């Protein structure tokens, strides 16, 4: 992929996202660093500069649908074209906390906000041709199931169940997007980055990781930049290779149901 392509990375102020932004900037991409606040974004821009790269920033809260809409509008104004969107931001919540929209935070930040952001950007700068969408899922999806009868887990919250459900939703969303979008215009793929000692892993899972941040960023960098995956869509990757997701990620009815519910809950349609 040629230098100068514009790549937006969400949650690029920390952990795997920050490393992904640093490494993408080193490839010559024009990186747009997204974070929750402008203070955190500015700090990340400093890290990227120190590493010899250059990037621009945008701040909005994925825990607010209004903020996501404002962010999408700002991005469309500032960037007539986005070549790659890396939906990387994510949280692990130990407790059930509702957002200002009255939705469970894990579901909103990890699934609904990227669903809304992606669809809004597809109406403008991300329309292609040859645009790429990457959704950072997790191996944790294999322990997840969609609680369609209670997506917000109001009847019994468990942080791991909420997280695993949201990471399964990332894959279902990717596969449905891939079916809806002509591959020569926009491709959509998802990935497990690896297991890294970030604040999400340490605070959420209470454990350390076995991979480095560089190793974890490598699959996103590969999918964002490699000519090998030009036109490849609707696949799940780990360690820069296509792998099979768990069977529940291949449930076509579930992915259609999730899309419809997400349209309603995000107010997209």
Ligand X SMILES: NC(=O)c1ccc[n+]([C@@H]2O[C@H](COP(=O)([O-])OP(=O)(O)OC[C@H]3O[C@@H](n4cnc5c(N)ncnc54)[C@H](OP(=O)(O)O)[C@@H]3O)[C@@H](O)[C@H]2O)c1
Catalytic status, residue 160: no
Q: Which of 56, 223, 194, 60 is nearest to 133 (CA)?
A: 223
For ligand X, what does the binding mask look like between residues 196 and 215, x meaning CB under 6 A? x-xxxx-------x------
- The token duo for 124 is 């403008």
Question: Could you say which of 60, 107, 115, 163 is catalytic?
Answer: 163
Min dist CB 196 to ligand X, Å, is 4
Of residues 3-42, which lie at the interface with ligand X (CB under 6 A)? Answer: 11, 13-17, 35-36, 40
Q: Does position 195 bind ligand X by CB under 6 A? A: yes
For residue 166, give every residue at least 6 positions away whose Cβ sits within 8 Å of its Cβ, in sequence order, or none: 90, 106, 107, 110, 111, 144
Number of neighbours of residue 218 by Cβ within 10 angstroms: 19
Phi/psi-derived region of residue 90, left when phi > 0, alpha when psi is between -120 and 50, beta in every other case: beta
Using CB under 6 A, which of 21, 62, 164, 221 touches ligand X? Answer: 62
Pick 91 or 128: Cβ nearer ligand X: 91
Residue 122 or residue 169: which is nearer to ligand X going by CB? Answer: 169
Which residue in 91, 112, 168, 217 binds ligand X (CB under 6 A)?
A: 91
Rounded to the nearest whole angstrom, what is the least distance from the CB of residue 75 to ligand X in the complex? 14
Using DSSP bridges, classify how beta strands 236-238 and 84-87 pair: parallel, antiparallel or unpaired.
unpaired
What residues are annotated to the active site?
163
């Amino acid at each position: 992929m040629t230098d100068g392509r514009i790549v937006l990375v969400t949650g690029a102020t920390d952990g795997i996202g920050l490393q992904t932004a640093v490494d993408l900037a080193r490839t010559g991409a024009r990186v747009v660093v997204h974070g929750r606040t402008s203070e955190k974004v500015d700090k990340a821009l400093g890290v990227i500069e120190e590493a010899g790269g250059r990037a621009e920033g945008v701040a909005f809260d994925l825990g607010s649908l209004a903020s996501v809409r404002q962010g999408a509008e700002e991005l469309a104004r500032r960037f007539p074209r986005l070549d790659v969107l890396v939906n990387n931001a994510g949280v692990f919540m130990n407790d059930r906390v509702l957002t200002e929209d009255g939705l469970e935070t894990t579901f909103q930040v990890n699934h609904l906000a990227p669903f809304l952001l992606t669809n809004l950007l597809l109406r403008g700068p991300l329309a292609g041709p040859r645009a790429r969408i990457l959704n950072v899922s997790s191996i944790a999806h294999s322990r997840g199931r969609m609680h369609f009868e209670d997506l917000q887990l109001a009847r019994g919250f468990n942080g791991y169940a909420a997280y695993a459900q949201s990471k399964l939703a990332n894959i279902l969303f990717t596969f449905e997007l891939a079916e809806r979008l002509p591959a020569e215009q926009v491709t959509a793929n998802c990935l497990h980055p690896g297991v890294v000692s970030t604040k999400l892993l340490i605070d959420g899972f209470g454990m350390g990781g076995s991979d480095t941040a560089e190793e974890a960023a490598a699959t996103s960098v590969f999918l964002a930049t490699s000519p090998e995956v030009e036109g490849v869509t609707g696949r799940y990757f780990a360690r820069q290779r296509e792998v099979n997701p768990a069977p529940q990620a291949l449930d076509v009815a579930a992915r259609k149901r999730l899309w419809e519910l997400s349209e309603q809950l995000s107010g997209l349609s």
